[in-house]
Amino acid sequence: MRLRSALAAALGVGVLLITTPASAAAATGQFRYDYMTTEGYEASGFLISPPSGQCLNLPGVGEDNPQPAHSPNNRTDAWATVFTDTNCEGDSFPLRPRTGGASERLKVRSVVFN
């Protein structure tokens, strides 16, 4: 089961690296979150040096997955504001740069970096 989770996480990172456009204003570092796949496996998602000022729906926990992500960790050099719904809607919670994190009680689906 761990192999499947690792494979799913690696595949997610690969897709993000291919599909995320380069941005002149980007947060440097990594944003990490955990989630349950639609198949019922634990997985981790990553955003590597995400663009700033742009709402990002977290891959793997969009509207097609009834389970939101949890345990977000902000290891970028920018403030991250996480949201309970897609498209940066719903309740929000700020995570400070480099050390900001939350427990599995915080359920999230999107993020924006300032």
Q: What is the pLDDT of residues 26-56, one digit of tens each?
A: 899 999 999 999 999 999 999 999 999 999 9
The matching CATH number, chosen from 1.10.10, 1.20.120, 2.60.20, 1.10.1760, for 2-113 is 2.60.20
Asked if 10 contacts 41 with a C-beta cutoff of 8 angstroms, the reply is no
* Domain assignments of the chain as residue spans, ordered by start: 2-113
Whether the model clears a pTM of 0.85, i.e. scores above it, the answer is no
Confidence bin at 23 (pLDDT 50/70/90) = very low
Instruction: Work out the percent of the chain whose per-residue pLDDT is above 90.
Output: 71
> Mean pLDDT over residues 59-76, rounded?
93
In angstroms, the CA 75 to CA 41 distance is: 24
Please report, in angstroms and rounded to a whole number, the separation of the first and last CA atoms in the chain.
36
What's the confidence (pLDDT) of residue 64? 84
Cα 90 to chain centroid, rounded: 16
| Burial zone of 105 (CB within 10 Å; 0-12 exposed, 13-18 middle, 19+ buried) | exposed
Alpha-carbon distance of 15 to 82, in angstroms, equals 21
